[in-house]
Structure 1
Amino acid sequence: MTEKLIEEFRLLFEFKASKNKWQKPLLTTISIGVPLLMGLFLGNIKYGLNACLSGLVIIYLPESGTYTNRILTLLVCSFGFMVSSAFGYLLSFNPIVSIIAFGLFSMIVHWIILFYKTSAPKSFFFILIAAMSICQPFDMESIPIKVGLMALGTMLTCMFALVYLLYLSYKEPISSKDKIVPIFKQNPYADIWETLIYGGVMSTSLAIAHYFELDNPYWIPISCAAVMQGVSLYHIRQRMFQRIIGTFVGICFTWCLFHFIDYGPFSICLSIIILQFFIEILVVKQYAVAVVFITPFTILLNEAANPLFNTNTLIALRFEQIVIGSIIGALGGWILYKEKIRHATMNKIESLIKM
């Protein structure tokens, strides 16, 4: 028993081999950093923060396939980011409406991702953008500006991606992605089951956040979505522990940063850019260690937007929300991958469809 616990603990912090090139983390850092620094130098850091989130779309740039297909994939995902942003802002006027709408939106996005068999991070960042938008105070006049900044940010990111692909065209021969032949026949009703559970869990997580009237309630559904990225019940449980442990260590790291370093607007932006680079390198190798850097990254984003917010309160609140969201995500994963529940539900869905 003791040996098994030691082995499980070792696996939590095991570094995995990665074939990702160093250029991709650098490209992601540039895509996020440039809009942020532009906002800082133009005297509107909040606009820079809004635009820099769109730089996350670069993560969906495929590593294989023709260059045309890669840039088209990025353009489609950029449009998805804009839709997610607009959807959230437009439906943030009422908590009950936002809870229901967020659940339905999560279902639709997750089904589309499953239908096209999109690789990781799958629907996560679309959910993140929608969650952050739908939890903002409703202001109809500012919606065109916010969505416009998201659009400008994705356009800038696509430009960086195009330069990167032109660079690759001189270094690597053009290759087409090999067609994947499935070994096992996929259950046609499995996607329906997964999307129903996913949407229901996302809606529940946002409802819990609103019920407790938390500041920045979007961190609960975001943490929930991050944990539910696991591909099995074991993987989901592992991600929950990695996220909670990584967040705890990350909060200690953040506390040290704020208490020993005198942060101004420029140093906060520079820290965000540096942390993002380390996150992109580590997230595919060791999720728990990556979360150690993700925690100060998210807290610094909030500090840049709201410099008068009490840092100690913010740190405590962030840990509480991430723990709650991670537990909800683990429960959702248990429902999703528990074979008896899954088998009975898919049989019921099949019988209803055939009626």
Structure 2
Amino acid sequence: MSIKRLKQIAKHEAEHLFTVRPSAKPWHVSLSAALIIASTILIGALYHNLPMGILASLGAMIILNQPVAGSLRQRQGLLLLMGIIMVLSFSVGLIAHQVQLLKWPLFTLLCFIVVAIGRYMHLPPPGSMFVLMASVIAIFMPGGWEDMPGRISVVAAGALYAWVMSLFYNLAVVGVASEPAPSKHYYELGLITESLIVCFFVVLSLELALWLDMPYPYWVPVSCYIIMQGMQLRTMWIRQLHRVLGTGIGVFVAAFLLSFSWSNVGVALVIFCLLLWIETLVSRHYASAVIMITPLTIFIAEYGKSAAHTEVGAMAYQGIMQARFLDTLLGCVVALLGGVVMQSTWLRRPLMTLEAKVFQDKIRLQK
């Protein structure tokens, strides 16, 4: 590759890193999503059960997948599907925690399905990230079989609450007679190949975290997926560096926020602000949104534990920053390695060829 070509690539990537695109979302979409999710946490805080409110907010995260276009039926149908996937993902994670023999097969299968569905449905950022995060948190959630029905019910209630609030919002803003949008759900060559590669490296990141005996292994695959979810076979992996930068900066933002002693209501307000930031910027400048995705997930993980506010206050925030930074760093390294593999022709060509043969009828029909 010539020096001139390298300069062109560097210039293009720099422009991509600093370009702020116009938002496709009206301001009230971002505000309503942040309010709906944060309100579940606020309800838990007011009833002195913050962990339960945060658990319900996992289900309410489906509101982040609400389409900005389409008929009422399309919008509510997608959220209903995402709610079902969210509850199933969380449930499978709880089962994997109880049956150690099935932990890896279940998580691998679940990860592949979540990634493939996100790519098939062409979900915009954050995509299916929170669905995957719910399953990973469930895998490491302490408790027995007797705790599962209650926890699943709470997540399902959060998803149902988000769906109902979305229905009221869409009836008020969109209306029943809204025009349907062209379907974005379709197969394209490379979907299975990309999903397999992403799944492999997300699972690998979790395996490495456990092998290294990291205190918070669930954050490593989430960090890896945040970076890898936007990668395509046809794009340069260097373009994903802004995701790494955003994730790394987010660790220090989280450390700053954790240095304060927050009340239960304060935690709900902080999460609301983080969600509003993410929803406002995710379609305009993804790196800036990722900066706040990191502290958001850390707040959910830390304050979602039993008596979490006591634990966070007792543990020096510098220790949390160090642990989270190492988790994030490992996830980023594995994700960038996955980006290199995704661009490699020695693996891409045989997998794409095999996929084309298996799905040739599907490809022919779409043409």
- TM-score norm. by structure 2 comes to 0.84
Contact 1:193 1:345 in 2 (8 A): yes
Contact 1:229 1:236 in 2 (8 A): no
Query: For residue 244 of structure 2, what is the aligned residue in structure 1?
Result: 244
Query: For residue 337 of structure 1, what is the aligned residue in structure 2?
Result: 343
After superposition, residues 152-191 of structure 1 pair within 5 angstroms as: 152-170=157-175, 174-178=178-182, 186-187=188-189, 190-191=190-191
Give the secondary structure class of the aligned counterpart of 1:20: coil
Distance (Å, rounded) in 1 between the aligned partners of 2:147 and 2:17: 43
Distance (Å, rounded) in 1 between the aligned partners of 2:280 and 2:297: 17
Structure 1 unmatched runs, 5+:
none
Contact 2:58 2:130 in 1 (8 A): no
Contact 2:71 2:180 in 1 (8 A): yes
Query: For residue 364 of structure 2, what is the aligned residue in structure 1?
Result: none
Give the secondary structure class of the aligned counterpart of 2:98: coil
Q: CA deviation at 1:237?
A: 3.4
Distance (Å, rounded) in 2 between the aligned partners of 1:75 and 1:39: 23
Deviates more, 1:153-162 or 1:250-259: 250-259
Distance (Å, rounded) in 2 between the aligned partners of 1:27 and 1:296: 20
- TM-score norm. by structure 1 comes to 0.87
Aligned CA RMSD, in angstroms, stands at 2.8
Distance (Å, rounded) in 2 between the aligned partners of 1:60 and 1:353: 28
Query: For residue 102 of structure 2, what is the aligned residue in structure 1?
Result: 97
Q: CA deviation at 1:263?
A: 2.5
Q: String of CA shifts for 1:38-77, please: whole Å, max 9, x gaps.
A: 1111111110110012121012222222111211211111
Query: For residue 33 of structure 1, what is the aligned residue in structure 2?
Result: 38
Cα distance, 1:179–1:36 mapped onto 2, change above 3 Å: closer
Distance (Å, rounded) in 1 between the aligned partners of 2:185 and 2:50: 48
Distance (Å, rounded) in 1 between the aligned partners of 2:46 and 2:153: 19
Is 1:52 aligned with 2:95?
A: no
Distance (Å, rounded) in 2 between the aligned partners of 1:228 and 1:302: 21
Cα distance, 1:345–1:253 mapped onto 2, change above 3 Å: closer
Code of the residue aligned with 1:174 in structure 2: it is S
Query: For residue 282 of structure 2, what is the aligned residue in structure 1?
Result: 283
Contact 2:198 2:229 in 1 (8 A): no
Match of 1:127 among 123, 126, 132: 132
Distance (Å, rounded) in 1 between the aligned partners of 2:177 and 2:119: 30
Match of 1:313 among 312, 319, 324: 319
Is 1:325 aligned with 2:331?
A: yes
Query: Aligned residues, how many?
Result: 347
Give the secondary structure class of the aligned counterpart of 2:20: coil
Query: For residue 205 of structure 1, what is the aligned residue in structure 2?
Result: 205
Q: CA deviation at 1:299?
A: 2.9
Cα distance, 1:235–1:164 mapped onto 2, change above 3 Å: farther
Q: CA deviation at 1:264?
A: 2.5
Distance (Å, rounded) in 2 between the aligned partners of 1:126 and 1:98: 17
Question: What is the aligned-residue identity percentage?
Answer: 24
Query: For residue 87 of structure 2, what is the aligned residue in structure 1?
Result: 82
Distance (Å, rounded) in 2 between the aligned partners of 1:42 and 1:181: 41
Give the secondary structure class of the aligned counterpart of 1:272: helix
Q: CA deviation at 1:222?
A: 0.7
Give the secondary structure class of the aligned counterpart of 1:92: helix
Q: String of CA shifts for 1:169-220, please: whole Å, max 9, x gaps.
A: 45x96111135799xx943xx3332232233222212111111122221111
After superposition, residues 130-145 of structure 1 pair within 5 angstroms as: 130-145=135-150
Q: CA deviation at 1:115?
A: 4.3
Query: For residue 217 of structure 1, what is the aligned residue in structure 2?
Result: 217
Deviates more, 1:159-168 or 1:332-341: 332-341
Cα distance, 1:90–1:18 mapped onto 2, change above 3 Å: same
Cα distance, 1:302–1:115 mapped onto 2, change above 3 Å: closer
